[in-house]
């Protein structure tokens, strides 16, 4: 069995210590909706990749159910696990963001 997995790497804009800060990239436009988009762009990119992984695992599941000989069960199971891990990570990030928002709103001025 030849199982090759693509290494997961962080996009250059997300890696700590690399890239350009939004303030230096062009003021308010860099933060609000420039090409990189800063945090919102990274979040949108991460959500799109999680969605793509879920769509791919759903497609592979359907192909296995239809007994397509070109799709292996192992490949399908790996895709399902990738989608599940991505969704769990997204859920944890969402929970942390909600908790941070709640903490900030409960601060006394």
pLDDT of residue 30: 44
pLDDT tens-digit map of 41-61: 988 999 999 999 999 999 999
Tokens linked to 60: 């592979």
pLDDT, average across residues 63-73: 91
Q: What is the pTM of this model?
A: 0.61
Tell me how far the alpha carbon of residue 77 is from its chain's centroid.
Answer: 19
Distance (Å) of CA 106 to CA 97, 101, 102: 14, 9, 6
Residue 109 pLDDT grade (very low, low, confident, very high; cuts 50, 70, 90): confident
């Amino acid at each position: 069995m030849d199982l090759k997995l693509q290494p997961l790497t962080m996009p250059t804009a997300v890696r700590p210590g690399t890239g350009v800060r939004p303030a230096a990239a062009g003021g308010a436009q860099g933060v609000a909706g420039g090409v990189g988009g800063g945090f919102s762009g990274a979040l949108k990119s991460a959500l799109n990749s999680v969605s793509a992984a879920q769509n791919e695992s759903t497609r592979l599941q359907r192909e296995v159910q239809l007994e397509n000989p070109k799709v292996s069960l192992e490949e399908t199971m790996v895709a399902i696990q990738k989608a599940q891990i991505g969704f769990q990570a997204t859920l944890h990030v969402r929970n942390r963001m909600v908790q941070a928002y709640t903490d900030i709103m409960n601060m006394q001025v």
